[in-house]
Structure 1
Amino acid sequence: MDKLKPKSKRKSESLSKTHNKNINVSSRAVVGSILGTIIASTPLLFSLHESVPAEKVWDTFLFTYDSLLWEDAQYAMWVLTGKFIPLLLLLIWFFTNRNWWYHALLVPIVMYIFQIVGTINGDTTHVDEFQLIYMLPIMALVIPSIYLIRAKMFNRLNEVNKTMQELEDEFMMKPKGVWGKVKQYF
């Protein structure tokens, strides 16, 4: 079929494929560089709370933040960054992980989201009290699905003459990009 096309057209298609591959490699390098920079700058991001004044009301040209029960905007931002940085690292790990068990990361991600919402709300007196009732539906979906994948892997391991690494590679998620992974869940 390829022989029926003119030689110049085959050459241009080959160049087009090479060009697309180069664009894909360079875009992956850019995304990897951005993610590496974010991960490396987490100590700087964590210390941003020190730029917040130690007052009850923090007034900026963009917004006004009232720390309510925290009574100190700097302390409230310290608590918030202490929850946001691990959430950011977990999200990066979740969207870049290609192992079969990466859905287990949803449990701590949702836990940190609940804690951040409680911190921002500020009306709650016990922010870090773990609200298991909200986590149960997520855990009820994630834990059995991980167990089923694991059971399926071991069934195949017993039936087929494959190594554990070959099975992990078979169940490994192929990179779809961040938007592809988000669309997978909704």
Structure 2
Amino acid sequence: MRADAQRNYDRLLEEARQAFIVHGTDVALEDIARHAGVGIGTLYRHFPDRYTLMNAVFERELDGLTARAEELAEQEEPGAALVKWLEAVALHSASYRGLAAAITEGKDSHMPTCKKVLRGAGGSLLARAQEAGQVRSDIMIGDLLKLTYAVVSVVERNPEEKGLYRRLMSLAFSGLRAE
């Protein structure tokens, strides 16, 4: 990539990240392009649609969640490690209004890299917890991520309700335990 094209790409990613934090993931793409100092055509040349842009923004941040999964796998009891990692995923998602809804959309073509990385990191923690008999064997990592993002979506819509996140996650995790 030419140096000027790389600068535009990097500026678009940074402006998109900031816009997603402040305004949510449904912010107008035209606003992102304008704040990055480029035209909308430049944005679309790099990112053909909103999901491609979102995937690129969040892909850069997934290293932290992957590292957290590896750290927890070494330090924590398997069931506790899984729960702590899902809390980290939820906290990350909550930083960007609308991210939870975008990732949980049924289409695998939307944000494929994010989904693959999250499923890989969480899948290893889930497998450990299942092997230790701490989590039901019929649960899949995609189920847990959807559940986590569903809770985040509810909390996003009810910001005035204190403690809602913890209550809902506690209730959800109670249902994960192996009998």
TMscore range, shorter length: under 0.3
TM score, norm. by length of structure 1: 0.27
TM score, norm. by length of structure 2: 0.28
Which fold has the larger relative contact order, with Cα–Cα distance below 8 Å and residues 6 or more apart in sequence?
2
Which has the greater radius of gyration?
1
